[in-house]
Amino acid sequence: MNALITALLSRSRTVLLLFLLLTVAGIFSLTSIPKESFPDVTIPMAYVSVSLEGISPEDADSMLVSPLEKELKGIEGLDELTSTASEGHASLMLKFDTKVDIDTALADAQSAVDRAKGQLPKDAKDPKVNEINVALFPILGIALSGEIDERILKAVAEDLQDRLESLPGVLEATISGTRQEIAEIVVDPQLMASYNLSQSELINLVSRNNQLVTAGNLDTGAGRFTVKVPGLLESEEDILDMPVKVDGDTVVRFRDVAYGQRAYMDRDRISRVQGSPAVTIEIKKRVGQNIIETVDSVRAVVSEVSPLWPEGIQVSYFQDQSVSVKTQLSDLFNNVLFATLLVFIVIIWALGPNSAFLVGLAIPSSFLAGILILSSMGYTLNMVVLFALILTVGMLVDGAIVVTEYADRRMNEGADRKSAYREAAIRMAWPIISSTITTLVVFMPLLFWPGIMGEFMKFLPITVIATLGSSLVISLVVVPTFGFYIGKPSPLNAKEKASLTGTAHGDLSKLTGATRQYIRVLKMALTYPITTIMLVLCFAGSVFGLFIAADRGVVFFPDMGADFGSIVVRARGNLSLTEKDTIIKTVEERILGLPEVRTVFTKTSAAPLQDYAADAIGVIQVELVDWQSRRKSGVILEDIVSKTEDIPGIYIEKSEAAMGPTSGIDIQLQFVSNDLAVLSDTVAKISKNLAENPALIDVSDNLPLDGIEWQIDVDREAASRFGADIASVGSSIRMITNGLKVGTYRPSDTNDELDIRLRYPYNGRDLDQIDDLTLTIRGQQVPISNFVSRNARDKQGEIYRIDGKLSFSIDANVKEGFKVDKVIADLTEQLKVAYSQGDIPSNVGVSFVGDQQEQAETGAFLGKAFMVAIFLMIIVLVTQFNSLYQTALILSAIVFSSAGVLLGILMTGDQFGIVMSGVGLIALAGIVVNNNIVLIDTFNVIRKQNVPAFEAALLTCSQRLRPIFLTTITTILGLVPMVLQWNIDLVSR
């Protein structure tokens, strides 16, 4: 190593040119590296969705879920298969082992789905296999609103969608808030009956007259011609002009029994932005694209095309993820600049301006080198990378300080600057290498962090390793090289020079100032070593004891606040969409106009909302103003809930946007069984008990809601006597519900294919109309009441399964003032008692899932990672010092520093965070040993000069006091902005 450093320093001009190249390449990488909010994490999950209009959840479970589940459960690497069967739809979620290649898993899933297609009903839509990726979540929402015709708003949105999806950075622009356009043929049931027309005749008529027939080729000898019979429908007029019945010379056309119109499917969701009806477009960027550039390009397109829109359309943006990325980048720049300024001040005070420049050089150059490495590896600049960069600000200068301080000492002793910096680099190389490696090895186990959390957090160790590794090269090569040209000793008076020279030659009598006082205290401690050690051990033990006694609790991920939140409105009863929206509007009106709320985005749904409680009727998403101008997000959301508590018949929940890969739900209980009745009763009983628990709020389950549904029972024997069947009855009833799809056509004014649906007039669509329906059979009108009965039944909810077993779940949050881990521990004991007393049947399984499961796995891994890190550090230290005793002395710093961490948590009143505190302790283990390494190395060198151990210890501490003080204070100052949540903008003030 010494020979390599000597060779590099002998080619100083080459080093400077390489440094210039590194700087330019780093700046280019910083500007070009893709920037995004969350890391590009490939979640080992996929979901399969399939639809069949009109079927019940029970039928969806047997006809859609069962065939797919049978094929999918055999996929290699599948950990868990969950399914949800709902009205007209089924979805299956596949969770794979994290070691499985997701592309291979998706291909296997697609093959399994293809095999199952033949077992699905013929009318079912083709099932789709979709990958889940954090980076594919929307980065920007665009709202088009205004009191304007729905068709115009839809046309504008579709045109904008096409323009946005042509941008290179945009993967998909998804439109919400519009309805599917259809060709609605409104049939008069009395006229149909008078002409003895049946639904089946109309279906066959449209299908047989709506196709392009290729009649082949005709070779006449004088030429060869293609013959075709064009018959595709192109307009509503084409449909209405079709003959439906011929009676002698009389031709009955469609228009004689119906009228046609372009219409929309019945509304099943209502969207508003800032209280106005809106169509929204959610933008998803391509993986690896720059989020800031993508959002800027989207806004540019909207600005360019919006002047061409009809008057009255207003455009607004919401949930812009690029804002947080810009803020984080600004914070990083400001933190680096502020930390560098603080380092300059400290080093100028201690070593002078020239040395301050050399030390300060290490921060930006190490950052640029680290970003260059990340960019070359294909990674992005995201929130975890930025956090890691800010974390390392204070550590990057340690090596540079040790080298510069040693060179400064030698120059004050009379050495020329080239000799001083060459000697400093060679002499301090191994201590710096060892201290850097011990810091790096503690992060290496984090590279093997399993699960989604590991995929999310792996960017932390990668960034730290790249940045600190770069700082090692800069400290030992670049800083000495610059020192050759601009190195200058710090200005010292005669006493300070004498003190410096005295410590170098073993004369402690010439010490002055703070160093002299420090050595006096140290001499007293060394005189009574056992007493000193016992006092320190007692202090550390007392801190550990106090921390355990205080029992602050444990959290998985810290509550960092958020810029977004949701207000979930829950209500029960057979409510229509209009009734639901009336309730949602009442809540919405109390939120609009709040000074701390920037945007209000409201969604009301007729069907159950995915990822929310079964009785959730709508969600109001709020975007808050900048955090500098408001209270904490949790306080604001709680205030909103309090403003709406007096509204009768509803329950309001608040939810902050989850930070990191967490669900944002404190407690998630999952129940499984093969007995639906026993499972339902058990979950209902436990859910009721949890709702009465004073420590819990927002308790919800996914049990079927109370309500009724109408079941049309067909007497097959009686129907067969009249020549009727279930299919004809179903077709007739659909004429008064969603309409009977008889075909599709593609009009000339749109690229979309529209459904042709037959329906009865609106005033004929009610429950009583079912009893009056007739079927045309053999030219006769037969009332379906002859063989059909209409009965009210309990409403059937969605059917959930996990690995084939029926499943229900309960979610809950913990009230302010209670600790999540303590509540979970109490619930665990209560569940054990319930099992032992038979309150929970033995054929019902229950487990904590979600964040609790992830927290247990993460805690177990971090404990193992800490032990592996310690073992790796032992190997490095034993390799350098060849002494287990000295290695143990160095590692003792970890114990005492951990006591300091726990003392800090006690003083601030915070809780121990599994992820952040755990990672912090692991990082701390690699940092705090650095000073001990330098001390032990210097002690060994002095001892080789036959100096007694007592005096050698005093000399070591006197010589290394200044560099240890400087490295410690700069590390602390580098973290001060983050610890105190400062963001000092020195450029724009």
Looking at the chain, the whole-number percentage of residues with pLDDT higher than 90 is 7
Residue 674 CB-half CA count within 13 A: 4
Tell me how far CA of residue 768 lies from CA of 714, 733, 784, 790, 816, in angstroms: 17, 11, 13, 10, 51
Quick check: 901 pLDDT over 80? yes
Question: How high is the mean pLDDT of the chain?
Answer: 83
Token digits of residue 427 = 């002499």
Token digits of residue 768 = 């009583």
Q: Say which range, 267-271, 314-318, 660-664, 883-887, has the weakest mean pLDDT.
A: 660-664
Q: Say which range, 212-226, 231-245, 511-525, 808-822, has the weakest mean pLDDT.
A: 212-226
Per-residue confidence band for 725, with pLDDT thresholds at 50, 70 and 90: confident
Q: Are 726 and 719 in contact (CB under 8 A)?
A: yes
> What span, in angstroms and rounded, lies between the C-alpha atoms of 383 and 381?
7
Instruction: Return the pLDDT at 494.
Output: 60
Quick check: 493 pLDDT over 70? no
The full DSSP string for 925-987 is HHHHHHHHHHHHHHHHHHHTTT--HHHHHHHHHHHHHHHHHHHHHHHHHHHHHHHTT----TT
**Residue 409's CB: how many other CB atoms inside 10 A?**
22
Quick check: 293 pLDDT over 80? yes
For residues 891 and 506, which has the higher predicted lDDT (pLDDT)?
A: 891
Quick check: 263 pLDDT over 90? no
- Reduced to 3 states (helix: H, G, I; strand: E, B; else coil), residue 517 is helix
Average pLDDT, integer, range 548-555: 76
Instruction: Return the pLDDT at 299.
Output: 93
**Residue 949's CB: how many other CB atoms inside 10 A?**
11
Give residue 777's identity as a one-letter amino acid code.
I
Per-residue confidence band for 470, with pLDDT thresholds at 50, 70 and 90: very high
User: Cα 684 vs. chain centroid, distance in angstroms?
Assistant: 31
The predicted model scores a pTM of 0.72
At 563-584, the pLDDT tens digits run 778 888 888 877 888 888 889 9
At 391-426, the pLDDT tens digits run 787 778 888 888 888 888 888 887 888 889 899 899
Average pLDDT, integer, range 953-981: 81
Average pLDDT, integer, range 98-106: 82
Which of these, 896, 897, 889, lies nearest to 949 by C-alpha position?
A: 889
For residues 333 and 463, which has the higher predicted lDDT (pLDDT)?
A: 463
Helix 383-392 to helix 459-473 angle (10° resolution) is: 40
In the block, which residue shows the tokens 């080992």?
44
Q: Say which range, 56-70, 241-255, 800-814, has the weakest mean pLDDT.
A: 241-255
Q: Pairing mode, if any, of strands 799-802 and 805-814?
A: antiparallel
For residues 715 and 29, which has the higher predicted lDDT (pLDDT)?
A: 29
Instruction: Return the pLDDT at 20.
Output: 93
Which of these, 304, 68, 356, 469, lies nearest to 966 by C-alpha position?
A: 356
Instruction: Return the pLDDT at 723.
Output: 82
Which of these, 439, 324, 459, 323, lies nearest to 388 by C-alpha position?
A: 459
For residues 801 and 258, which has the higher predicted lDDT (pLDDT)?
A: 801
At 603-614, the pLDDT tens digits run 888 877 776 777
Average pLDDT, integer, range 317-323: 84
